[in-house]
Structure 1
């Protein structure tokens, strides 16, 4: 049986190991909401094919100016942003790493101060009971407005264009963010989608936006370079759905013909309770794609998941923030650096590029 440290192929992307760095918003974009030299250093530190992630999934990157919902997140919707991401991909590839970008539209999880005074966009004008990170700190999100029918097609096109820009920027592929109560998830769930047109009502209509986005992206760059992240069992960001199983089963069935590089599934409540009821095996059977699991995996859980065949790859989040050589530490069962939670969002090198590797610790011992 394979181990966590064996190579694997996800679509057209060859990974040196099966430990994946999950997307992690860090709020450190520079002028023009661009990735910076520090961004490149951060990812390159975690990209070594033996010590670091077999695959890096970047922090979520908004596909349009109206897709932003958190302060200082790097976009993929201007030529200057594409050029900035090129420095990141070149640096990662120079050390032998693989990297995909997560394409993001936050939908209603935003604030007017981040959108030049405009209201956030959503399937329906339903305000979320949650907060977002602005220049004033964490604030309640703003009241959204419902998308017009023609605007939905425009956003699907934005996803297609962003996917092409990602390949231009040198990424090995993309991951569409369909999880955690953002725009794709908002269309899926009955608590956030109150539409009465072709995009609302029965589950066949509510999966339409996801299907059209994935068709547009794979049509642009191919299914073998396209992943998708879902959080089926979790009402994150106040995205409620009383009957998630048939909804997500149908979504998986409709996406299977696209032959995606992988499906990235958050098990349980993002960053919390893993025991929320959902049959992930039923979803996997229908998806017919390489299976990436996420949420609270420790070393033994990850080893068992891969060796048993329960997962093809395992994504880790905050452990990769504090441990640039996290995969080596897993292999050697070495102790982990503690995470500094005060440096997670915003700032500079502290808590970003200054966590020591095992080699650095040994050199100072």
Structure 2
């Protein structure tokens, strides 16, 4: 499926003025999505259950990248374990391999505090530093993931309280996913098809799972599930879908893997976990691209600079150029390789790609580009 050639530009919500440089090289601007993808797919799965490895295997089969939200209490007492909860220490080796393959590990608290009603008094007492920061630290201690970008509210509770959202932000998370109004089935199709306005109360497009928890309905009709993805894809949006692995049917004939097969493997889609996706949005808004004098002339030079902490915002962004055929690109003196066709499924690689005569340069910031 050919990638669209439309370039969507972002500079704090405004178009970046085109910049003219030597040798007929012209900077068009930053693309909306990495590698000028047409649309985005991001997946999240919740809970430290024995079904997590099977879900990861299914995603890997179809090239889907996810945020795996785990509750990190090492040895929960049997009477405190929910559903098919597994002692998380059994999951750490598989989670490490998942991170190495382009997934993200997200925090789901330590003990999965969950109570209805989620009053501000309950939430204030439940969301302790041990739950919020402790689960983050557990992930950093047990995996090589350099940062924990993403939080998930257990049972979707407490997300509506500003006090709690501030605690999540203060702990260093950059985005927090909700699970709205499960008791009234509000969680089934929130229908968010872009970035959330409030990063700390972020919804998603739809759930892909059987009825569970307090829900009274489910949508497991593959045609219905696929149609929602098709709608988002056609509109060039962000398809964000959620599942609890304990409420899935695995295998090629099950609704979950049939949906993954429909969504995955598209050359014009960016497959990315939730945290790096939201980091990309912030990075594009806070990175300045400027023409720079080229020693000796004869080639185009641009500085790419951000003031953000690159330990947190460690991904790449994509710049679009009009440039003569055969133009080569170096980043801080290192020649960037040309990328072939295929799905985009990483967030921090560097490369160039030509599409319909336009040059796309994907690079990490705080560098100098030279095009000649």
Taking structure 2 as the reference length, what is the TM-score of the superposition? Answer: 0.36
Which structure's residues are more often helix, by fraction?
1
Between the two structures, name the one with larger relative contact order (CA 8 Å, sep ≥ 6): 2
Taking structure 1 as the reference length, what is the TM-score of the superposition? Answer: 0.37
